[in-house]
Structure 1
Amino acid sequence: MRVAFVSFETIYHRDTETNQRIHSLLELLRDRGHDVHHFCAAFWDGEIDVFERDEITYHGVCHSLEASSSFLLRLPVAIARTSPDVVHVGARPPGQAVAASWGATIARAPTLLEWYGDGGVSNTWWSRRAANSVDRIITPSDLVTTWVRELGVDPGKIDVVANPIDLERIRAVDPAENVDVIYARRLDEDANLESLFLGLAELRGRDWQATVIGDGPERETYERLATDLRIDDRVTFAGDAPLDERIAAYRGAHVFAQTAEHCVFPTEMLWALASGCIGLVEYHAESSAHELVEGWDRGFRTTSEEELADAILEASDLEHREYDERFEEYDIDDVCDRYLTTYRALQKSSGLL
């Protein structure tokens, strides 16, 4: 199958969650043997319009991120010339979804819109037009689905597909040393690590150890807070770590705590839960993390530091695991199959199969 992805920016321009999601899909489809094309602003040197990297064909519709108008104008014809079987477009900027749908119409191909939602979903004319220009919309969570529905989109037009993880990779990594509670995220203003620390401070009389993985502009602030709360001797700030090291840490940990205020999909938490961790989530209106633990006997949803501390105590009575088969539906192969099934269903409904 020839799949045309459309995203003005790529991970080679900016390493955002949306760009990571689209790049992961490019690689999944490439690894399945599909012909993958990405229409974007050029990120390579020189004046060539087509550039191949890692068996993915990139089409530089324009040569600069400052040329967004040129990108939108040239995109329909560029797509049509490639004769794709399906067009898969990102939602930022929303104008590219409209332009991509024109190109798909010329090419007689269905259009799928990937609306990841980091940064929110703005209810603008262009966003509403984008949502109604495509055949299907994919979101990563019920949270983002709610935002998209507020644009006036028929709920039956939206599918939820989570970020994928590699379960075989988890099973191949040996567990690290045991730790009671682990937290992993970029330490910025949205990390809300203070909630976890305040909960842990309630348990000073108990025996526990915690690890914080990640770095960022607020790290020193959180290190000072741990000192002020007199728990700095129990908390290890491990800094950034590659994925295999994080997996090893999760397989050795008992509880993974998710307290961030903004999260369209908790990918890092999913790696930890599949690695056997118990899930502890502080509920926030702009976070979907609670969706992973609802109705699960190894998941806790809290709304205060007191509830968080109680949940840590309750979790201590649950068995330690190094892998949890409950999350096998999130494996890379299963997620890829969901996309391929959607592509074929769109082709069939369009009379192309």
Structure 2
Amino acid sequence: MRVAVVSMDTVWTRDRPATRRTRRVARGLAARGHEVHCLCAQWWGGDLDQFEDEGVEYHAVTDGQAAGSFRSKLPFALRSLSPDVVHAVSVPPGHVTTAQTAAKVLRVPVVLDWWERDPERGSDRQYRKAASRADRVLTPSETVRTAVREHGAGDADVQVIPESIDFELVRSAGVDDRFDAVWARDLDGDANVGEFLLALAELRDRDWTAAVVGDGPARADAERMAADLRIDDRVTFLGDLTPAEFVPVLKGSHVFAQTATYEPFATELLWALACGCVGIVEYQAGSSAHELVEGLDRGRLVTTPQELADEIVACGTLPEWETNDGFAGFDHDDVHSEWVDCYEAVVDDYGWF
């Protein structure tokens, strides 16, 4: 199958969870033998209009981040590829509607991957138009599914395909048992890591060690907060870790805390649960993290740092695990199969019209 991925942004120009998802899906499809072309702003050096990376062929629609120029050139780029299906990302929405118009002329379906709505990069009207005109809308969670339906997507046209992990790595990795509790995420304005630190401060009279994994603009404030709470001698800020570095830390820990105020899909929590951690989620209206632990024996929902502290103590009675096979279905191969099934179904359905 020939797939045209429409995304002006890539991880090399805008490193965000949404662009990481797009790269992961594109590489996974290419590894399965599909022909994947990504129409984007040029991120590589030199005068080449195309650049291959990990089996994905990147096409420079524009030299840089020029939204208007990207939209004007996109139809010609799509026509030159003659794809079987168009995979468009939700931000910016103007590119989605342009892709939808071009795809209609080419008589091919459009699958919209909706990770989020960024109000700074499109109007509400544009997002509604993008959501309502897609042949299929894919979201990473039920929380995002609800949001996209509120933007006009039909209920039957929206499907959840979650993020994925390397479960073989979970099974084969070693164990780093330095920490009892772990928190992990990009340390940005939505991280809310202070809730985790406040919970730990409630337990300063107990024997524990903790790690904060991730980096970003909120890291310095978090480190100062740990010092102010007088727990900095037991909280280690590890910065960004690769999966190969992250998984042993999780396998050696007992508790993973999730406190972010915004999370379309809590990928770090998924890794932690697969590694046998007890997942304690502080419920937030803008986060889908609760979906991973609802009804789970090794999962807890809380609403305050005090409740988080209490659950850390209470979970100490649960056995320590290093893997949880209940999350094997989130392996990259299984989830990539869901993407392929979706593409094949939407192509077959499109032929009936």
| TM-score when normalising by structure 2 | 0.94
Query: In structure 2, do the counterparts of structure 1 residues 325 and 49 end up closer, same or farther at CA, with 3 Å as the change threshold?
Result: same
Matches within 5 A, 1:291-310: 291-310=291-310
Alpha-carbon shift at residue 160 of structure 1 (Å): 0.9
1:160 aligns with 2:160: yes
Match of 1:9 in 2: 9
What amino acid does structure 1 have at the position aligned with 2:264? Answer: V
| Per-residue deviation, 1:227 | 2.7
Question: 2-side partners of 1:53 and 1:205: how far apart?
Answer: 51
Tell me whether 1:100 sits opposite 2:99 in the alignment.
Answer: yes
Q: Aligned Cα RMSD in Å? A: 1.9
**Residue 347 of structure 1 pairs with residue 344 of structure 2:** no
After the TM superposition, which of the residue ranges 140-149 and 333-342 deviates more from structure 2?
140-149
Aligned runs of 1:255-294 on 2, under 5 Å? 255-294=255-294
Aligned residues of 2:279 and 2:300 also touching (Cα < 8 A): yes
Secondary structure, aligned partner of 2:88: strand
Confirm or deny: 8 A CA contact 1:118 1:264 kept in the other structure: no
Structural mapping, 1:1-353, within 5 Å: 1-66=1-66, 68-117=67-116, 119=118, 124-351=124-351
- Extract structure 1 runs of 4+ deviating beyond 4 A: 118-123
Unmatched segments (≥5 aa) in structure 1: none
Tell me, yes or no, if the aligned pair for 2:2 and 2:83 is still in contact at 8 Å.
yes
Q: Shift in Å at residue 238 of structure 1?
A: 2.3
Deviates more, 1:77-86 or 1:295-304: 77-86
Give the stretch that moved more between structures: 147-156 or 311-320: 147-156
Aligned partner letter, 1:103: A
SS of 2:183's equivalent? strand
| In 1: Cα distance, 2:117 partner to 2:197 partner | 26
Change in Cα spacing, 1:110 to 1:193, as seen in structure 2 (3 Å) is same
Shift of 1:123: 6.2
Given the superposition, is the C-alpha separation of residues 122 and 104 from structure 1 closer, same or farther in structure 2, using an over 3 Å criterion? closer
In structure 1, C-alpha distance between the alignment counterparts of 2:220 and 2:48, rounded to whole Å:
45
What CA deviation, in whole Å up to 9, does each residue of 1:107-128 have, x standing for no partner? Answer: 3221100011164797611111
Note closer, same or farther for the CA distance 1:179–1:52 as it changes in structure 2 (3 Å cut).
closer
Bigger drift between 9-18 and 44-53 goes to 44-53
1:273 is paired with a residue whose SS is helix
CA shift, 1:318, in A, is 0.6
Contact 2:31/2:55, CA 8 A, preserved across alignment:
no
Deviation at 1:75, TM superposition (A): 1.4
| Partner deviation per Cα, 1:302-322 (whole Å, 9 max, x = no partner) | 001221111111211111111
Letter in 2 for 1:76: P
CA distance in 2 between counterparts of 1:219 and 1:151 reads: 34
SS at match of 1:192: coil
2:144 maps to a residue whose letter is V
Kindly state the Cα deviation for residue 179 of structure 1 after the two structures are TM-superposed.
2.4
Number of residue pairs matched by the alignment: 352
How far does the alpha carbon of each residue in 1:319-342 deviate from its partner, in whole angstroms, 9 at most, with x for none? 111100111121101111101111
Deviations 1:27-81 (A, max 9, x none): 0001101111011122233444333233221121222212x22221221232122
Structure 2 portions without partners, runs of 5+ = none
Contact in 2 for aligned 1:118/1:263 (Cα 8 Å): no
Counterpart AA for 1:328: A
CA contact (8 A) 2:42 2:59 kept: yes
295-304 vs 343-352, which moves further: 343-352
Q: Is the 8 A contact 1:178 1:254 kept in 2?
A: no
SS of residue in 1 equivalent to 2:291: helix
> Does the 8 Å contact 2:61/2:73 carry over to 1?
yes
Equivalent pair of 1:97/1:133 in contact (CA under 8 Å)? no
| Aligned sequence identity (%) | 44
